[in-house]
Structure 1
């Protein structure tokens, strides 16, 4: 298993995140429930940066779920939208910020950007390779 949500949030770098839209700004509070207690994580997103604090302050979006749900989202095993539709998490506030969690969390360690996969497929066709798997390494 990969990192837990707590481990990931504790080490989340406050540097620039080019994968976040430049024009997006807002605050998210993650209410992580575990065995009768709740941990609160407060994320401030602006200028393609994410700052993390521990706070119960009001936020533009409040997301609540059991610890295992956040752990799976951090590791790219669960999409926030799918979790919401299955009632595995609750949301209150600005819903457009919910999709930012997918970009804030790291995702699977072996994930590749769709453009990279597409480029690999195009390169394979151009070189006359017959393999159908665009993830194959090019020689």
Structure 2
């Protein structure tokens, strides 16, 4: 398991209050495959909180991905919905959990919020 993925999962509980503002709750199982090995992560999401375990268990949704793709997601080099639509990864269950969970992923390197750009232009002009 890559260090970027380990750090990503370790950071979820601290980041959850800022990311999980919607009134949603559920459990997402993330299965990451490398060759013939699969690592399992169980993420329980609730308003303002995330609990992460390295386990399998009852889940409202299951996300299967290669470890390589998931590392690209946690580093901002890939987008989760695009990967699902291109069938690079599979997802089943409550789709709202994916839509909420993807907010934990960083933006691609070099991407700026268009509101910031507009504010800068307004200050200059």
Instruction: Give me the TM-score of the superposition, normalised by structure 1.
Output: 0.75
Bigger Cα Rg? 1
SS in structure 2 at match of 1:73: helix
Deviations 1:13-36 (A, max 9, x none): 523432323312221111000120
Matched, 1:22 2:58: no
**Most deviating of 37-46 and 115-124:** 115-124
Pairwise CA distance, 1:41: 0.5
SS in structure 1 at match of 2:39: strand
Runs of 4+ in 1 over 6 A off after TM superposition: none
Q: Which residue of structure 2 aligns with residue 52 of structure 1?
A: 52
Q: Distance in 2 between matches of 1:59 and 1:31?
A: 12
Q: Which runs of 5+ in 1 are unaligned?
A: 126-139
How well do the aligned residues superpose, as a CA RMSD in angstroms?
A: 2.2
Q: Distance in 2 between matches of 1:31 and 1:90?
A: 10
Q: Which runs of 5+ in 2 are unaligned?
A: none
Alignment of 1:74-85 (within 5 A): 74-85=74-85
- Decide whether the 8 Å contact of 2:78 with 2:108 is kept in 1: no
Q: What is the count of residue pairs matched by the alignment?
A: 123
- Decide whether the 8 Å contact of 2:77 with 2:109 is kept in 1: no
Instruction: Give me the TM-score of the superposition, normalised by structure 2.
Output: 0.83
SS in structure 2 at match of 1:17: helix
- Decide whether the 8 Å contact of 1:3 with 1:74 is kept in 2: no
